[in-house]
């Protein structure tokens, strides 16, 4: 993992647990009762969704191997969201890559592709919003990114991401945090725009 990838993954970990800013601050947290991820998490890596990964990371923390646990968390984020780079086709658009990776880690592939397809349609594409990555979605994304104006495209993604969260049944419980994360991820993505 290069330094930019490491920075992106660390930022996503911090969004999952705002106290997780370094190996020393990693912790096991109890999930809220309304969360469907299980009982415990380490920076969004939940015992109910990824028990083997969670247990390995917890064992490292219990053994005092905090650096190794941190590296494991970073690598897990990058591995879990690696499809985003494939959609884009290169590492030349880190702002959009980060923004999509963050949503992917938080909400999964299908939901991320739906906000992407809607944002692309807002910019003139004519895609079926099905949450599947096909040649039309991939081509529309790559064409859109090649045209420049990444800031405007990130605005469209942010709008669609907020609409997605507001339509979720759990919005009354988690909505304030989701919308805050959406804006914070947007602000961070803007720092990654390559002129």
Cα separation, 89 vs 154, in Å, equals: 17
- Least Cα distance to 112 among 150, 148, 164, 73 occurs for 164
**What angle is formed at CA 149 by the lines to CA 143 and CA 152, rounded to 5 degrees?**
110
What is the pTM assigned to this prediction?
0.93
**pLDDT at position 130:** 97
Cα separation, 37 vs 15, in Å, equals: 16
**pLDDT at position 33:** 82
Give residue-wise pLDDT tens across range 51-61: 999 999 999 99
Cα separation, 178 vs 184, in Å, equals: 10
**pLDDT at position 195:** 65
Confidence of residue 66 (pLDDT cuts 50, 70, 90): very high
Q: Where are the domains of the chain?
A: 3-80, 83-190
**pLDDT at position 13:** 95
Share of the chain above pLDDT 70, in %: 99
Q: Answer whether 83's CB lies under 8 Å from 132's CB.
A: no
Give residue-wise pLDDT tens across range 104-153: 999 999 999 999 999 999 989 999 999 999 999 999 999 999 998 899 99
CA distances from 33 to 37, 126, 170, 173 (A): 10, 40, 12, 11
Q: Is the model more confident about 89 or about 36? A: 89
Read off the pLDDT of each residue in 23-41 and give the average, rounded to a whole number. 90
């Amino acid at each position: 993992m290069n330094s930019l990838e490491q920075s992106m993954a660390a930022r996503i970990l911090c969004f999952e647990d705002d106290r997780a800013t370094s190996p020393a601050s990693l912790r096991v947290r109890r999930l809220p009762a309304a969360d469907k991820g299980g009982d415990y998490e380490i920076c969004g890596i939940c015992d109910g969704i990824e028990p083997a990964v969670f247990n390995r990371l917890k064992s490292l923390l219990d053994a005092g191997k905090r650096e190794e646990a941190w590296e494991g968390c970073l690598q897990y984020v990058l591995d879990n969201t690696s499809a985003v780079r494939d959609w884009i086709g290169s590492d030349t658009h880190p702002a959009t890559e980060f923004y999509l990776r963050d949503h992917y880690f938080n909400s999964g592939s299908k939901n991320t592709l739906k906000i992407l397809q809607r944002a692309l349609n807002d910019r003139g594409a004519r895609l079926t919003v099905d949450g599947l990555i096909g040649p039309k979605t991939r081509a529309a994304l790559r064409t859109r990114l090649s045209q420049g104006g990444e800031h405007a495209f990130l605005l469209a993604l942010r709008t669609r991401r907020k609409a997605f969260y507001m339509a979720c049944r759990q919005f009354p419980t988690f909505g304030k945090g989701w919308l805050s994360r959406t804006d914070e991820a947007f602000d961070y993505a803007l720092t990654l725009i390559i002129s």
